[in-house]
Structure 1
Amino acid sequence: MPRDNVLQEVLKEKITFALWKKLEALYMTKSLANRLILKQHIYTFRMAKGKSIITHISLFFTLLNNLKNLKADTSDKDQAMLLYSLSSSYKTFRET
């Protein structure tokens, strides 16, 4: 969901608890659509130019953990996408 849409959704909430519940409903719903969106993020995730590999790996595992939190199955194929998300400078590592 684009950031402006999220802001519009939570703008009227005045209590922290209500805000948290609204955000939880928007992002943690265990729906098929949310699982598919997270899978899409995993399969299209690419290493940003100039970003450290440690940061990249951390972001990738955050995506995987978000998917697991939705009780979605994560396969070895999903985890292997980490290798394909690396920049071309890690080509040798990826092939190994």
Structure 2
Amino acid sequence: MERFKGGKKNKHIADVLRVTERSVDRWRRQWRERGEAGALSRGSPGRTRLNERQIARLERELERGLLAHGWAAQRWTLTGNRTLIGRLFHVSYMVEGTWRLL
């Protein structure tokens, strides 16, 4: 939503989040029509979500840094976060779901 407020183009947002422009267009339309509440994900029915204890563990693991988890990169990416969540909790998130979680 900050990207919408900042005037970023749909293509830029889609590229950063690795999603389609169509998805970003839908999110922007919902944001315009209903504000921030309209743009929030309602989630997939029956989808496994991290509980508070798991989120606390994820925060600790992210603080340990990339090297502790086998990455040589300089900073975390949504894809890296998504991969770490899968490895730690055996839960699969889409990139935009990871963005919302974090």
Instruction: Give the TM-score of the pair, scaled to structure 1.
Output: 0.29
Name the one with the larger helix percent. 1
Pair member with larger Rg: 1
Instruction: Give the TM-score of the pair, scaled to structure 2.
Output: 0.28
Query: Which one has more relative contact order, counting CA pairs under 8 Å at least 6 apart?
Result: 1
